[in-house]
Amino acid sequence: MKTLKIIVFFTLLIPNLKANNIDSLKLLLKNNNLEDTTRVNILNKIAILYQDKGNDSCILFATKAIKISNKLNFYQGTGKALGALGNYYNSIGSYQKALANFINAFKLYKTNNDLHQMSNIMNSIGNTYVGIEEQDKAFDAYTKSYEIASIDSFKYMMGISSVGLGNIYQLKNNPNKALELFTRAKSYFINTNSSKYSLSVTYTLIGNILVDLEKFDEAFLNYNNAILELKELNNTYGIASTYNFVGQAYIKKNDLDNALIYFIKSYEIFKTRKAYDDLKDVSLNISNVYKQKNNLTGALEYFTFYNNYKDTIFNATKNKQLLEVEAKYESEKKQQEIEVQNLKLKEQNYQKNILYAGIILIILFLILLLNRYNVKKKANESLSIANNHLEQKNSIIEQKNTEITDSIRYAQRIQNAVLPTNIDMGEWLANSFILSKPKDIVSGDFYWTTSFNNNYYLAVCDSTGHGVPGSFMSLLNIRFLSEAIQEKRIEKPNEIFNYVRDRLINSISKDGQQDGFDGILLCYNSKSKQISYSAANNNPILISNKAVIELPKDKMPVGKGEKNDSFTLQTIEIKKEDTLYLYTDGYADQFGGPKGKKYMYKKLNELLLNINNLDINKQSEILNQELENWKGNLEQVDDILIIGIRI
């Protein structure tokens, strides 16, 4: 399981600021009588609040703080602003900028022998090396951070650096040593009354280790504790990271539905924060889940997102820049200028002019004005090549998506040509509704009608799969149902199901596949006025005298299964104003609501009872609206089909 990136920076240098929201702090800045150091502290406070939100306005306020602090020779203000910038760039996956700012801050604190902040910044450097998978360098940085904190008896940073060292041991597949270090860190935080954020990070990391050890109940308890702490802090980045870990835990537990819920929650938060590095990882997780659930459309969509984010955030050139920045720091030959060019374009705003051993490092500005034209020309050429490459890839993807969509639309036309446009079973079914909502354009759920010898038949069925595979199964199932009644002259619903099951097994289940359908076949005899049916895994629902009656079913599918008994012929005693409902499992299995849980059959039947006295078409509208409200922003998980019949 991927380790958690811990980004910690203190607010010790902002005294006497009671305002904790951005608007209040901005209002304080309008006071022209503020001391310059106080103004710097307010600017840094705003920058850190924007950093926590993943908002690039952090750059603007931190840069203002640096300019004023440099004029005042106020090293604390400059160091804090550099740290805020480093943390912001870490959170969006721009590691070379993060490392450059942290190195400058560490040099500044070292010059002034500020051990507290030296330990803190060295820990942040370790976090950045974790981000570029330089484990040995990260281990050295965390060790230095711990040693500096020990000199100053700074227990809080001893805990933070212990967390970093635990992460490295986890990456090196030593979970017991990692758990020991995380537990030690937790004791430091509790004993020093540290912030909720650090405690939440420790809960999450301990949860990760427990997942690796397959102690899932203990792991979920720690994750829940972490989320509660983070919600109190409104720390959306930490919440999203923890959701991602919960999703990975459910994957390991082989619970794909819950895994998908938490991955999507994580994705939406990271997307709002523009955390491209994290979006890359969680997009791949979602794609893999959809692939395992045989949802190829969803898998392709999120795999495309994964490739786009991967190409955006990191490449070999950036890695080379990181190593060159570090080398310049070690040899103390590095010079740097940081300027803001255009905040609204959301481009990376700080550019470095560096001269090192005859190699010119390209960013946007250069130390020597003489080389500016050549650098910009090379940058534009590289950008043009990258854009052409990206356009080619996007064109291919768009073409493939169009071909896939066109194929599915064609399959939809084929399926619609087979399905009845209305229920034609005589006057007794004149008062009825159909609610059909395919998950992926075409549907594995189907309804079908026919008549033979004064018998009117209605089938409501759920084929194996959904989307294109499910629609093909539905066409095959309809073919065999029609064959049983119209060609073989079989009249009883149970015998029809027996025949269709044999045809499915002999046709497509020879190699062990268990394809077929669950469903209900209803038969109404216009002479005897009797209703009979046979049900495979699905209960018909009768509402009579303000009570819900679940009619009997056979617990086996129409297809190859564990049982091969003959289906049961059932009869229904119905009186006027009773209502009969036939549905598949899609509505009850839909995830949603405030906790992202399934709707469930009990809740669906209660809803049907509450609305059953309304106009039949109004019932359909209410069912559809209730589904949309319940589902919210979550994806529809299965095809949905409900038919209501007022007797």
Round to whole Å and give the CA distance between 580 and 562. 30
Chain-centroid distance, C-alpha 26: 34
Q: For position 377, what pLDDT does the model report?
A: 62
Q: For position 351, what pLDDT does the model report?
A: 44
Residues paired with residue 646 on neighbouring β-strands, in sequence order: 579
Q: Count the neighbouring beta carbons within 10 Å of the beta carbon of residue 551.
A: 17
Round to whole Å and give the CA distance between 236 and 249. 20
Chain-centroid distance, C-alpha 516: 32
State residue 156 phi and psi, 5-degree precision. Answer: -60, -45
Q: Where in 244-285 does DSSP place strands (E)?
A: none
- The residue written with tokens 């603007």 in the block is 60
Residues paired with residue 518 on neighbouring β-strands, in sequence order: 462
- 3-state DSSP helix/strand/coil % of the chain, to nearest 5: 60, 10, 30
Q: For position 427, what pLDDT does the model report?
A: 58
Strands 541-544 and 455-463: unpaired
Round to whole Å and give the CA distance between 340 and 378. 21
Cβ atoms of 470 and 452 within 8 Å: the answer is no
Record the pTM: 0.40
Q: For position 66, what pLDDT does the model report?
A: 95
Cβ atoms of 160 and 185 within 8 Å: the answer is yes
pLDDT along the chain (647 residues), means of 10: 44 44 86 89 91 87 94 92 92 88 94 92 91 89 92 86 89 89 84 70 87 90 88 88 92 93 93 87 92 90 87 52 50 41 44 47 54 61 60 61 50 52 55 88 84 90 77 85 91 94 82 80 89 95 93 93 91 88 93 90 94 92 94 89 90
Q: For position 316, what pLDDT does the model report?
A: 35
Q: For position 423, what pLDDT does the model report?
A: 47
